Amino acid sequence: MGFAKLVNMRRHAMDPECIASMGHSSKRRKLEIEYRERGDVYLYFDVPPEEYAALHLWQLNPKVST
């Protein structure tokens, strides 16, 4: 199993129960999500800006389905 080095990207604090913060690099198409329960940070690859924008909007208002 390989590990990726975390990219130095700005993450934004989130309100929902499970996600503490997340950030996206449009140039690298990488998404970092920090989860609340254990503080783990996951790095996702090949994430287009549109997907990040949709996820970010959903996190701001999780009662709205996409």
Mean pLDDT, residues 21-35 taken together? 91
Could you report the per-residue pLDDT of 37-58, keeping only the tens digit for each? Answer: 888 999 999 999 999 888 877 7
CA-CA distance, 35 to 9, in Å (whole number)? 16
| Better pLDDT: 33 or 17 | 33
Task: Give yes or no for residue 11 having a pLDDT over 80.
Answer: no
> In the chain, what are the domain boundaries?
12-60
The length of the chain, given as a count of residues: 66
Whether pTM > 0.85 for this model: the answer is no
Q: Given strand 12-13, what is the order of strands in its sheet?
A: 12-13, 19-25, 30-35, 41-44
